[in-house]
């Protein structure tokens, strides 16, 4: 891959480095895509692709209008939701080139967050999923959804180190991946010949340990740290919804919980022990008590609910009714809606900044031209800012805590980099700053101009964070298999 572009230097006390955040297409799978938490944030036992993002009102640095595009970076066509590696500050996404043949050719692209430049790309195959990042080893997992193969990439040197199959049969279609942080085992739902299964793969040998039937259309499991169990959403032949409870200690099915139709991967709230499960067909959200494994409440949401997002700082669950364009704020103490915020139809799942508690929602306006990112206060649920985009966003916002930039996928093949301009100053963590984000640049794929996909990048600031310890990769005494 060659040398990385740029690095973070020594930063004076009153000068903050800008961080980069990747915004991604709507994530319906890929749990544990970012298992890292900033200082002071409550741990998340399982995280969806909707990662953490920065705030426009946290007073982190001087910003104001107008917003100006100042850079473009090649990425490639049709990029997946991107994930951020907190250790090297890089961003990873898969791309697809529909240029002939039966299947699209795919690559894993690597973008340097320190310089907003493309480091390179790794050929991966066809029909690739978004990357799933596992922070204990710094490993990225990318599935070939046509042939049921997972590729393993070490983020320490951006090289493919192995691959494995999720099933001994042909044409298994993976639907996500969750890592058990205690032993590194992988839980992978997949569909094969119309039926659903859960494959348990050893995080040491990458051999299949167990295969459990899982109805139809299983979703990404959610790991609950208090019990060590995993909860897997699926439907049966009549589209009735269920959560399968799998014991992480012995990989056996220990309970089946009826929920509403077409459940989406749950979000776990460690403060009350509840799971929040959006159900697509019934347009509501079931609250499941993980002590009794029963539905404790059902909250009406609206059409096209997205995966819920938990804010550890204020005990709220954010759920989006995408078709109507409303962000619903749910109190986890009462499991009732406490606020309803209009954020625009066709919006991507919300993202919470765990440093300031504000929420960011990218909206394509459902064809009415309102391509924006809205910042919602985590304190009073008011819309603090509406940031116009030059093209249609295709996914949610996420944050790079090493240098502070925000990214949002767009439909014109660019990564728009938003640049700050001087403004009135306030304080954040004792440092001078001010409100707002601005466009500082864009990334364009070589073939992405015609394919029409890209990522938008916003600027903010934060302090560098020490890296947590990693397990050795590959694990001691093993060699990842290659297919």
- The per-residue pLDDT for 478 is 41
Instruction: Pick 298 or 15 by higher pLDDT.
Output: 298
Ranges 157-171, 260-274, 462-476, most confident: 260-274
Peptide bond into 66 cis (omega under 30): yes
pLDDT in tens, 320-349: 998 888 999 999 999 999 999 999 888 888
**Within 13 Å of residue 110, how many CA atoms lie on the same side as its CB?**
25
pLDDT > 70? residue 90: yes
Q: Residue range 135-151: average pLDDT?
A: 89
The rounded percent of the chain whose pLDDT value lies above 70 is 65
Tell me the sheet residues that pair with 340. 328
Closest residue by Cα to residue 212 from 184, 232, 226:
232
Q: What is the pLDDT of residue 469?
A: 41
Q: Would you identify the CATH topology of the domain 17-462?
A: Methylamine Dehydrogenase; Chain H (2.130.10)
CA 96 from centroid of its chain's CA atoms: 19
pLDDT tens digits, 110-126? 888 788 888 888 988 88
Phi, psi for residue 413 in degrees, rounded to 5: 75, 25
Query: Could you write out the three-class secondary structure of 354-389?
Result: CCCCCEEEEECHHHCCCCEEEEECCCCCCEEEEEEC
Q: 412: closest CA among 438, 394, 387?
A: 394
Mean pLDDT (whole number) for 174-203:
94
Which pLDDT does position 55 carry in this prediction? 33
Three-state SS across 416-468?
Answer: EEECCCCCCCEEECCEEEECCCCEEEEECCCCHHHHCCEEEEECEEECCCCCC
Residue 473 pLDDT exceeds 80: no
Cα gap 68→152, rounded to integer Å: 38
DSSP character string of 8-75: -----TT--EEE----EEPPSS-TTS-----TTPPP-SS--S------SSS--B---SPP-B--B---
Distance of CA 334 to the CA centre of its chain: 27
- Which range scores top for mean pLDDT: 24-38, 69-83, 293-307, 449-463? 293-307
Contact 354, 333 (CB under 8 A): no
Residue 222, pLDDT score: 97
Whether residue 463 is predicted with pLDDT greater than 50 in this model: the reply is no
pLDDT in tens, 274-298: 999 999 999 999 999 999 999 999 9
DSSP tag of 301: -
Shortest CA distance to 473 belongs to which of 177, 180, 2, 158?
A: 158
* Domain residue limits, the chain: 17-462
- Specify the DSSP class assigned to residue 403: T
Q: What are phi and psi of 412, to 5 degrees?
A: -105, 15
Q: How far apart are CA 401 and CA 34, in angstroms?
A: 12
Cα dihedral 8, 9, 13, 17 sign: negative
Spatial CA neighbour of 460 closest among 402, 410, 389, 384 = 402
pLDDT of residue 171: 79
Q: DSSP letters along 71-117, please?
A: -B----SSPPPPEE-TTT-EEEEEEEE--SSSS-EEEEEEEETTTTE
Q: What is the mean pLDDT of residues 96-108?
A: 66
Q: Which two tokens stand for residue 129?
A: 């999923």
What per-residue confidence (pLDDT) applies to 474? 43
Q: CA torsion 363→364→366→368, rounded to 10°?
A: 120
132-295-289-379 Cα dihedral, nearest 10 degrees: 70
Other residues' Cβ atoms within 10 Å of the Cβ of residue 375: 28
Band (pLDDT 50/70/90 cuts) for residue 178 is very high
In the chain, what percentage of residues exceed pLDDT 90?
39
Q: What is the pLDDT of residue 413?
A: 62
Query: Using CA atoms, how far apart are residues 360 and 353, in angstroms rounded to an integer?
Result: 8
Closest CA to 186 of 236, 248, 124: 248
Q: How far apart are CA 136 and CA 122, in angstroms?
A: 22
- For 232-268, write each residue's pLDDT tens digit: 999 998 889 999 999 999 999 999 999 999 999 999 9
Q: Which is more confidently placed, 117 or 44?
A: 117
Are the C-beta atoms of 109 and 92 separated by less than 8 Å? yes
Neighbours of 404 (CB within 10 A): 26
Residue-level pLDDT at 369: 58
Q: How high is the pLDDT of residue 456?
A: 41
Task: Give the pLDDT confidence score for residue 477 in this predicted structure.
Answer: 39
């Amino acid at each position: 891959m060659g040398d990385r572009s740029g690095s973070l230097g020594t930063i004076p006390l009153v000068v903050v480095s800008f961080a980069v955040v990747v915004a991604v297409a709507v994530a319906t799978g890929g749990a544990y895509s970012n298992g890292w938490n900033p200082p002071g944030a409550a741990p998340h036992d399982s995280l969806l692709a909707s990662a953490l993002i920065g705030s426009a009102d946290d007073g982190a640095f001087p910003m104001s209008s107008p917003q100006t595009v100042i850079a473009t970076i090649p990425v490639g066509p049709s990029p997946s939701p991107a994930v951020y590696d907190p250790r090297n500050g890089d961003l990873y996404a898969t791309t697809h080139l529909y240029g002939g043949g039966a299947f699209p050719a795919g690559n894993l692209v690597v973008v340097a967050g320190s310089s907003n430049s493309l480091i390179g790309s790794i050929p991966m195959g066809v029909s690739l999923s978004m990357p799933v990042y596992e922070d204990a080893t710094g490993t990225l997992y990318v599935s070939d959804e046509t042939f049921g193969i997972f590729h393993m990439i070490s983020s320490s040197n951006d090289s493919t180190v192995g691959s494995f199959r999720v099933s001994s049969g042909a044409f298994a279609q993976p639907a996500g991946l969750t890592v058990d942080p205690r032993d590194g085992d992988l839980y992978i739902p997949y569909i094969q010949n119309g039926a659903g299964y859960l494959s348990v793969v050893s995080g040491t040998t990458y051999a299949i340990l167990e295969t459990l039937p899982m109805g139809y259309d299983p979703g990404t499991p959610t790991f609950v740290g208090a019990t060590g169990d995993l909860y897997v959403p699926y439907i049966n032949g009549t589209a009735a919804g269920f959560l399968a409870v799998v014991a992480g200690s012995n990989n056996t099915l220990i309970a089946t919980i009826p929920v509403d139709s077409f459940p989406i991967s749950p979000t776990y709230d460690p403060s009350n022990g509840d799971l929040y499960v959006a159900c697509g067909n019934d347009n509501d959200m079931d609250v499941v008590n993980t002590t009794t494994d029963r539905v404790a409440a059902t909250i009406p949401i609206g059409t096209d609910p997205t995966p819920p997002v938990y804010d550890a700082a204020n005990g709220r669950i954010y759920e989006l009714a995408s078709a109507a364009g409303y962000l619903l704020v749910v109190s986890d103490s009462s499991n009732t809606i406490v606020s309803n915020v209009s954020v625009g139809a066709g919006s991507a799942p919300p993202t919470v900044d765990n440093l300031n508690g504000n929420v960011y929602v990218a909206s394509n306006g459902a064809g009415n031209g309102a391509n924006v990112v809205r910042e919602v206060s985590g304190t009073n649920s008011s819309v603090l800012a509406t940031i116009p985009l030059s093209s249609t966003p295709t996914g949610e916002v996420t944050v790079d805590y090493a240098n502070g930039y925000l990214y949002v996928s767009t439909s014109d093949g660019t990564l728009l980099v938003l640049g700050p301009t001087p403004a009135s100053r306030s304080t954040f963590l004792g440092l001078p700053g001010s409100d707002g984000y601005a466009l500082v640049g864009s990334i364009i794929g070589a073939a992405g101009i015609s394919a029409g996909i890209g990522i938008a990048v916003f600027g903010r600031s934060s302090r560098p964070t020490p890296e947590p310890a990693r397990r050795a990769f590959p694990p001691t005494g093993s060699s990842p298999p290659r297919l």
